[in-house]
Amino acid sequence: MADPHTAAVNIDAAEEPEYLLGTNSGHLTISTGLIITAGVILGVFAGLWTILAAAVIVAALWLLGHAIVHLVRNRPRIALPTPAVSPASTRHTQLPHAA
């Protein structure tokens, strides 16, 4: 009597095996499913990183805008020097004459 653990399994060519991976169409189906699953996972991963990057850029621009407004509103006022008054532009007041 042959040992059932070491006996060769004869599968008739016309008979479809019960497991999917043993057939050519089954292998293609499994591979396609794995590729689609991996693509979806990587797409979601890349999409989340894209959203995160956009959020960081928006937050940085928002903070930079507030910093610029804060600096502009709180900067010290620059006192411009008054121009020197020339003697020709001054009005001479008349001194009262002695009577």
Every domain of the chain and the residues it spans: 46-70
> pLDDT tens, 10-55?
555 555 556 666 677 778 888 899 999 999 999 999 999 999 999 9
H runs (alpha helix) in 1-99: 24-74
**With bands split at pLDDT 50, 70 and 90, how would you rate the model's confidence at 90?**
low
pLDDT of residue 42: 97
Distances (CA, A) of 35 to 19, 23, 28, 38: 20, 18, 10, 5
